[in-house]
Structure 1
Amino acid sequence: MHVQPSCETAVVAPPVSLRWPKEGAARVPYKVFSDAGIYALEQQKIFRGPVWHYLCLETEVNKPGDIRTTWIGETPIIVTRDEEGRLHGMVNRCAHKGALVCLKNKDNKKSLTCVYHAWNYNLDGRLRGVAFRNGVRGKGGMPEDFDLSQHRLQPIRTEVMAGIVFGTFSDEAPPLEEYLGDRTTAFLKRNMDHPLKVLGTHSQIIHNNWKLYAENVRDSYHATLLHTFYTTFKVNRLDMDGGIILSDRKWHHISYSKRATLEASAEYMQAQVHSAQYGSELDGPELLKAWDGFDDQITHSIQTIFPTLVIQLTLNSLAVRFFVPRGVDKTELYWVFLGYEGDTPEQEKMRVMQGNLTGAAGLVALEDGCINAFVQRGTHGSDDKASFIEMGGKTAESNESSRATEAAVRGFWHGYKEIMGFEQ
């Protein structure tokens, strides 16, 4: 049995004192990465605010009775599919004493039962029975006015888009498609709106504030410099044709490149990226063989959906990443590697092999777990300082001719500052 990590009871956020630098999203106060009051306020403003959050894949709750546990911020969540095929999202907290009701990552049951006092719930979260409700031998039990219908698992709103189940606590969150915007929705459907098959999953703890990872996946130009495997073997480089697309609200982004369109010479890149080993060869070159899955020639893309969802396509390796705050300086990063139900055995084998590029011990993504911790450590104790984010300009705008920009990073902070209510 997999027991989920403990989750401390949420507390009211202490007063927060922060005035954002006058440069706006081109500056980020280091205080936001280490201040406990800001972290607590995020749980209210973002994770329980008018924001849609990744819960799970629809294929993980495909059959009646399927159960999937997940998180919105620090709050544990249950997603179920009932006997009529309807999806439900609810807080994983018994209405009696507040204990976790579901302890496994995945399960299939006809009802939900808390192990503490055996309160039993329908798959939609309605209370259906209480052990010893009438006492024993006519003594004890619940009072006469006890009403099952007044006690249930706390529901949340859910919507499904392109095989992904999203949830929100807020009645004020707009409909999901409006929240995402047209271009974000279209690209999400490009990659995900197919019958999906889970090929493998894992998670890792990274020792940094969750927002540093949100920055990292929006930073399109560090990949050429930090991930020298990408540069050496021409998987994803800045001299490939590509671009950055921001949603209308700037909160979400798409970064893409096309391996077939290298624009600069190897000598140019070698001058820019000293650590890349351009003469290197793979013992297993089949790792980087790929087939054209789409007509647009895009071979690498990172799509983010504010605040904590990433969809990655590297050659033919399709994966969902979502990250969960585990404290002011700790984040759990989950990876779900995917294929399509229509894949041939050879295609599935290639997807699995290319999954070795990313993940906790991947040939590429290994560096991100380190570099974000370096930033966490380097900014600690410097609450009066701020980062400088002006690569590609000072605004958050799409750029479909260059990825040498931090526009998507500025877009994240534009949304963050807006929803948190921080004034300049």
Structure 2
Amino acid sequence: MSANTVAGLAQDDRVSSALYTDPALFELEMDRIFNSTWVWVAHESELRAPGDFRTAYIGRQPVIVTRDRKGGINVLLNRCRHRGASLCETPKGNGNGFTCPYHAWSYALDGKLRGIPYPDGYEDVMEKKDLGLQRLKVGVYAGMIFASFNQDVQPLEDFLGGARLWMDRFMKQGAGYPIKVLGEHKFRFKGNWKIQLENTTDGYHFPIVHRSWMSSVDAETAGMLSFMTDEEAVTHSLGNGHSVMIMTPAHADLDEDDGTEPLQERFSHLVEELSREFDPAKVRRIVRAMHGTGFNLNLFPNVAMSSSFFRVLRPLSVAETEIRHLALGLEGGPEIVNRERLRIHEHFQGPFGFGSPDDSEAWDRVQRGAAGGPDIPILVNRGLGREVQAGNGDRTAHSTDETGMRGAYAMWKAMMTDDQ
């Protein structure tokens, strides 16, 4: 497929349905996007102690993220160098290394080959030092761990660019405590990965798809997300495919608080409990952040830092995607707060919640509909006429506009055509 053909599939205001349905495009994406740029793999709170590890995927390639005995973070291809078996099928844990279940080749936490059973027969055939696990390039920012198969990939901070400000702000929901992953669940939907990528900064769908959630919460919570007509609720395209949608402007930076916003009545029991241990300012800081931040941040190509949780996508095929939702809490913070945050997470993002199941149904339906009328484009033109460009190059429009999608598809087009 020529670069010109691919380029013609993504225009400023529309993209071809083939982006959801063409298997050849999907294969090209795995090579030119997921195997070539920075992809999120873990959060540092999942790897606190030496020996901690978790498994993940970059595109369709399995990897192991480890913290070695010296404290270093490694991302290793989950593939034995002997006959190719996967080394680790455990989602997370702690250990001294990894041993292949097939022929027991063993590897250290940093990927070095430590031992081979019955080594006779390998004399003058190979050197152990040459057969360690494939190591990926690793970068960390704001506790977020990224990896790339491309050893010449641009520096992580350059890739994140304007998203770094929002990553820093996202972590402020810890109210002075570090953020940690409390737990996760995952599910699959029968749709292309880019359908979910679009969703995180798509404010247009919220009051429609999430009517059941809006009717299930108290008026104060619903009011916080009544951003459809709020002129200060905007979306910024941050470059390199990243975008941020601000839904609750007063919570865009949780360090800024003029003290006039009343705390939600639903958290009165928390205020009473926390007041026994903390001063009023600290109590207010924790409770104001119970719903997380006032924005959703989308990091191209695979992770969203969405209000109070991480959403991670994994492309399985052109028409199937796995989603992981990671609930977040305060490391070292009051347990009553973490329990309450889990309940909030379950209510919207959980498998029996009021939010994510509705999202998933919508994504499925986009994929099913896209199979019809292959010559009819997918429109991403909402707000194009009122979009403005800031001095730093960011494109900005209302939070219900498709500015973030346009930025993501501009990056998709650049990477798929090598026009960067």
The TM-score with structure 1 as length reference comes to 0.81
Q: 1:369 aligns with which of 360, 364, 372?
A: 360
Amino acid at match of 2:168: K
Matched with 2:244 is 254
- Structure 1 residue 224: Cα displacement: 2.1
Whether 1:40 aligns to 2:27 is: yes
Checking the alignment, whether the CA contact within 8 Å between 2:10 and 2:413 is kept in structure 1 is no
Residues 148 and 364 (structure 1 numbering): CA distance in 2 closer, same or farther, change over 3 Å?
Answer: same
Q: 2:225 aligns with which of 210, 233, 236?
A: 236
Residues 377 and 289 (structure 1 numbering): CA distance in 2 closer, same or farther, change over 3 Å?
Answer: farther
Matched with 2:258 is none
Checking the alignment, whether the CA contact within 8 Å between 2:236 and 2:397 is kept in structure 1 is no
- Structure 1 residue 15: Cα displacement: 7.5
- Structure 1 residue 36: Cα displacement: 0.9
d(CA) in 2 for partners of 1:400, 1:288 = 39
Matched with 1:267 is none
Checking the alignment, whether the CA contact within 8 Å between 1:52 and 1:167 is kept in structure 2 is yes
Q: Deviations over 1:83-107 (max 9, x none)?
A: 1111111100000011101110112
Whether 1:175 aligns to 2:155 is: yes
d(CA) in 2 for partners of 1:131, 1:198 = 38
Checking the alignment, whether the CA contact within 8 Å between 1:234 and 1:259 is kept in structure 2 is no
Whether 1:309 aligns to 2:288 is: no
Matched with 1:266 is none
Q: Runs of 4+ in structure 1 displaced over 6 angstroms?
A: 14-17, 287-290
- Structure 1 residue 37: Cα displacement: 0.7
Checking the alignment, whether the CA contact within 8 Å between 2:184 and 2:324 is kept in structure 1 is yes
- Structure 1 residue 20: Cα displacement: 4.3
Q: 2:12 aligns with which of 25, 31, 43?
A: 25
Amino acid at match of 2:139: E
Q: Deviations over 1:117-174 (max 9, x none)?
A: 000111111111111112xxxxxx3243321111111110011111111101112321
Checking the alignment, whether the CA contact within 8 Å between 1:252 and 1:304 is kept in structure 2 is yes
- Structure 1 residue 202: Cα displacement: 0.3
Residues 404 and 103 (structure 1 numbering): CA distance in 2 closer, same or farther, change over 3 Å?
Answer: closer
Whether 1:320 aligns to 2:314 is: no
d(CA) in 2 for partners of 1:349, 1:108 = 25
Checking the alignment, whether the CA contact within 8 Å between 1:45 and 1:419 is kept in structure 2 is yes
d(CA) in 2 for partners of 1:87, 1:159 = 9
Whether 1:83 aligns to 2:69 is: yes
d(CA) in 2 for partners of 1:146, 1:396 = 60
d(CA) in 1 for partners of 2:270, 2:187 = 28
Partner of 2:352, secondary structure, is coil
Whether 1:351 aligns to 2:341 is: yes
Within-5 A mapping of 1:139-154: 141-154=121-134
Q: Deviations over 1:225-259 (max 9, x none)?
A: 2211465532422134421122134x101111228
Partner of 2:317, secondary structure, is coil
Matched with 1:190 is 169
Residues 121 and 75 (structure 1 numbering): CA distance in 2 closer, same or farther, change over 3 Å?
Answer: same
Partner of 2:223, secondary structure, is coil
- Structure 1 residue 402: Cα displacement: 2.5
Residues 287 and 256 (structure 1 numbering): CA distance in 2 closer, same or farther, change over 3 Å?
Answer: farther
Matched with 1:280 is none
Checking the alignment, whether the CA contact within 8 Å between 2:313 and 2:321 is kept in structure 1 is yes
Whether 1:339 aligns to 2:319 is: no
Partner of 2:195, secondary structure, is helix
Matched with 1:11 is none
Amino acid at match of 1:42: E
Residues 419 and 403 (structure 1 numbering): CA distance in 2 closer, same or farther, change over 3 Å?
Answer: same
Q: 2:137 aligns with which of 133, 137, 157?
A: 157
d(CA) in 1 for partners of 2:187, 2:55 = 17
Checking the alignment, whether the CA contact within 8 Å between 1:396 and 1:407 is kept in structure 2 is no
Whether 1:413 aligns to 2:409 is: yes
Between 1:60-69 and 1:397-406, the stretch displaced more is: 397-406
Q: Deviations over 1:363-415 (max 9, x none)?
A: 12221100111010001153322112211016685566721311111111111
Structure 1 gaps, min length 5: 1-13, 135-140, 262-283
Within-5 A mapping of 1:268-283: none
- Structure 1 residue 350: Cα displacement: 2.2
Between 1:350-359 and 1:33-42, the stretch displaced more is: 350-359
Residues 358 and 289 (structure 1 numbering): CA distance in 2 closer, same or farther, change over 3 Å?
Answer: farther
Checking the alignment, whether the CA contact within 8 Å between 1:54 and 1:167 is kept in structure 2 is yes
Residues 119 and 260 (structure 1 numbering): CA distance in 2 closer, same or farther, change over 3 Å?
Answer: closer
Partner of 2:29, secondary structure, is helix
d(CA) in 2 for partners of 1:128, 1:299 = 45
Structure 2 gaps, min length 5: 216-221, 252-264, 272-283
The TM-score with structure 2 as length reference comes to 0.82
Backbone CA RMSD of aligned residues: 2.8
Residues 145 and 23 (structure 1 numbering): CA distance in 2 closer, same or farther, change over 3 Å?
Answer: closer
Within-5 A mapping of 1:216-227: 216-227=199-210
- Structure 1 residue 346: Cα displacement: 3.1
Whether 1:383 aligns to 2:374 is: yes
Matched with 1:57 is 43
